[in-house]
Amino acid sequence: MKTRIERALRQVRWALAALLCAAAPAWALDLNELMGLLARQQQGEANFTEQRYVRGFDGPLAASGTLSFTAPDRLVRRTLSPRPETMAVDGNNLTLSRSGRSRSMTLDSMPELQGLVEAMRATLAGNTQVLQRYFTSTVGGSASEWTLDLAPVDARLASQVAMLRLSGKAGEVLGVEMEFRGGDRSVMTISPKR
C-alpha cells in the first residue's frame, strides 16, 4: 500500500513539474527564446517617431520617418521630418545622406556607433552571439509583451551610452529607448507596416 501511494505521489509530482515547465513560457521568456521569435521575420518595414530629450533644450526634439531591415545586416533609417536624411547600413558599410550629399564610412572605424547599430541589427535578426559581443542583456515579460535591456560591455560605448531598452510583442520590436551619459535620452516608437 505504501509503495502504491509513493508511486502515485511521484506521478503527481512529475505531472506537476511537466505542467509548470509547459506553462513557464506564458510568463517567462529568456534571451534565446526571444531571439528565436525575432529571427523568424527576415525583413520588415515600419514607421517611427522619435523624441530626443537633450539637456539645455526646452521640450523634446521630434523626428519621424521609416525604418527597413533585411536580415542579416541591412538596416535603413529614413528620417522625413524635421529634415530628410538617410542612414543606410549594409554589412560593415555606413552611408549617411542629407541635402543631396552622401558620406560613406566603415562601421568598424567608429566602434561606438557600431555597437548601437549592432544592438538593432542583432536584435532584429535574432543573433544572440553578436548581441552578446556588445551587450549584457536582461529579458523581461513574456512572448506577448517583452523588454530587452542592454548594457554596453565595450568601455568606449559604455562611456557614452548608459542603457538601451528594446520592447515589443512576439517577433516585433515596437520601441527603443536609449539613455546617454550626461542625461540625454531618446524614445522611439515603431509601427510595423502590415
pLDDT tens per residue, range 22-34: 444 445 799 999 9
DSSP label of 40: T
Q: Per-residue pLDDT averaged across 115-144, rounded?
A: 93
Rounded Cα gap, residues 89 and 151, in angstroms: 22
Q: What is the pLDDT of residue 4?
A: 53
Q: What is the pLDDT of residue 110?
A: 87
Q: What is the pLDDT of residue 136?
A: 96
Largest Cα–Cα distance in the chain?
87
Residue 140 buriedness (CB in 10 A; 0-12 / 13-18 / 19+): middle
Q: What is the pLDDT of residue 30?
A: 94
42-95 pLDDT, tens digit per residue, is 899 999 999 999 998 888 999 999 999 999 999 999 999 999 999 999 999 999
pLDDT over threshold 90, residue 1: no
Rounded Cα gap, residues 89 and 87, in angstroms: 7
Rounded Cα gap, residues 166 and 55, in angstroms: 23
pLDDT over threshold 50, residue 14: no
Q: What is the pLDDT of residue 27?
A: 52
Grid cell of 30 as nine digits: 529568456
Q: What is the pLDDT of residue 17?
A: 38
Mean pLDDT, the chain, rounded, equals: 87
Q: Per-residue pLDDT averaged across 124-135, rounded?
A: 93
DSSP string, 104-168: EEEGGG-HHHHHHHHHHHHHHHT-HHHHHHHEEEEEEEETTEEEEEEEE-SHHHHTTEEEEEEEE
Q: In this prediction, what percent of the chain has a pLDDT beyond 90?
A: 74
Four-CA torsion 29, 30, 31, 35, nearest 10 degrees: -40
Q: Which residues, other chains included, contact 53 with Cβ-Cβ below 8 Å and sequence gap of 6+?
A: 60, 61, 184, 185, 186, 187
